[in-house]
Structure 1
């Protein structure tokens, strides 16, 4: 089992090159087809509702400018793919908003790679598109931190060539586990990466608060399930900071990221909570915290 179709979002962000290299290396490992997508930012619903008159010279000029920006974002994609040894790929320009367009395209992919929103973009608008892709696509999403560097985020030789034998981020994976259906979905979607990892840590936060879910030995059933897939993992139990007189649990997202840092993990796998933005329901607090403060790639499934 592996990722056979990988979608990667291309834009003019400084860390876009890290996404391309990650997509290339995963493609080499899994024999995958890579689809590079750039979006104009013009919602497809405007066209469907005939709200756009492309005969308007001012509007046509604006659309041409937006499409030229998308073409610029795509310009280096094909040369990079060829240089890295990836021969099965295609590029697309979509007239749509980033979140809606990528979510639509990702419904025909095994994995979508997007960039973490920059701090100034974290709003309910276009900057929140990683969360929208996650909730609307039905596809696991690998989010690359905006601090990633094109050469530092994956295994690339001095000649700029990604090796199909070397693991992408995922040498040491932190698998967040709370025995929920969301964490189970994320673990299943991450199996191709977990199988290649040198080390897998099953992170369980605040197990004492959920005795019915974990039983006497937290994580034992998950370890047995992973072992049947040939994956050896170890359990790391941690407790979030307890707050107030009632000692309520603190920020689980921060605790997960701290644990990942302490253990030297280079990938976090997380089941995401939340619903469609059209229901105006925000993603769960753990998901928001991780998306905003992550410094390593995070694979999320919803």
Structure 2
């Protein structure tokens, strides 16, 4: 398995350059085609509504502003990829809402790269990564807004690029709870895990679910990864326990702490959630990680 089509979301946020750089590095590693997508925010269903007159001058002006913004988001994409030595790419400007539109294109991709929601964003903007994940059927790599566009790519005078060491993915933390979502996330991350210098399988509260995790905990997953050429270790930890029944809590915070402790530059996470609940697309652990992440997170649903 490899990533042959990589989708990257383009907008006017300051950290879009780091997102494009990550797409470029992965494209060079996997000889992949990159699709850069900018969206106007105008729902595709607007054009199916016969009550809407596209010739209305007020609507036309509004659409022009939105399309101009999307065009500006696309402006630096091709020059940046060419400068990095990526030659197989295309750009698309779509009249659609960001989450729904990107999810539609991502159904024909192997990996979608999006940015973490900014702290001041709310509603649909804050739920954008989750919507792409739950609606696309494609793994999503979320890049933190603190990321800086630093590259290990070197380009020769002849325009031939070398991707250098994998970024992200030198040191990977796999959040493992033995769920089907976590299993899918690990499978989708195999192209990155095979290139990693170090892979750590993080298991929280294994003592509460011995049947799920096996004996010793994580041994079956480690053996499966080894058969795919991935050498992994296991890190066991306990999350804080509260209440009379001493139930575990703050699992998301515990995973982030483990990632920092091990110096990881990528987390692999299976995401829980139901797309029909628009304001609560993902479970508490996933939401905590998405809100507080400082390293890229690869998610599958």
| Same topology, TM > 0.5 | yes
Query: Which segment drifts farther, 256-265 or 271-280?
Result: 271-280
Q: Is the 8 A contact 1:40 1:66 kept in 2?
A: yes
Runs (5+) with no aligned partner, structure 1:
none
| 1:264 correspondence with 2:238 | no
Pairing of 1:51-200 with structure 2 (within 5 A) = 51-121=51-121, 123-151=122-150, 154-156=151-153, 163-200=162-199
The verdict on how the C-alpha distance between 1:281 and 1:149 changes in structure 2, with shifts beyond 3 A counting, is closer
Q: Deviations over 1:112-149 (max 9, x none)?
A: 0000000111x332331100001000000000001111
Q: Give 1:241 shift.
A: 0.9
The verdict on how the C-alpha distance between 1:297 and 1:131 changes in structure 2, with shifts beyond 3 A counting, is same
The verdict on how the C-alpha distance between 1:119 and 1:106 changes in structure 2, with shifts beyond 3 A counting, is same
The verdict on how the C-alpha distance between 1:203 and 1:268 changes in structure 2, with shifts beyond 3 A counting, is same
The verdict on how the C-alpha distance between 1:162 and 1:242 changes in structure 2, with shifts beyond 3 A counting, is farther
Query: Which segment drifts farther, 275-284 or 225-234?
Result: 275-284
Query: How many residues end up aligned between the 2 structures?
Result: 298
Q: Is the 8 A contact 1:182 1:272 kept in 2?
A: yes
TM-score normalised according to structure 2 size: 0.95
Q: Is the 8 A contact 2:36 2:77 kept in 1?
A: yes
Q: Deviations over 1:47-88 (max 9, x none)?
A: 122343210011101101100100000000000111000000
Q: Is the 8 A contact 2:39 2:94 kept in 1?
A: yes
Q: Secondary structure at the match of 1:79?
A: helix
Query: Which segment drifts farther, 104-113 or 47-56?
Result: 47-56
Q: Is the 8 A contact 2:140 2:298 kept in 1?
A: yes
Pairing of 1:3-18 with structure 2 (within 5 A) = 3-18=3-18
| 1:243 correspondence with 2:246 | no
Q: Is the 8 A contact 2:225 2:232 kept in 1?
A: yes
The verdict on how the C-alpha distance between 1:63 and 1:232 changes in structure 2, with shifts beyond 3 A counting, is same
Q: Secondary structure at the match of 2:174?
A: strand
TM-score normalised according to structure 1 size: 0.95
Q: Secondary structure at the match of 2:291?
A: helix
Q: Give 1:209 shift.
A: 1.1
In the alignment, which residue of structure 2 is the partner of 1:301?
Answer: 300
RMSD of aligned alpha carbons: 1.6
Q: Is the 8 A contact 1:155 1:162 kept in 2?
A: no
Runs (5+) with no aligned partner, structure 2:
none
In the alignment, which residue of structure 2 is the partner of 1:25?
Answer: 25
Q: Give 1:250 shift.
A: 1.2
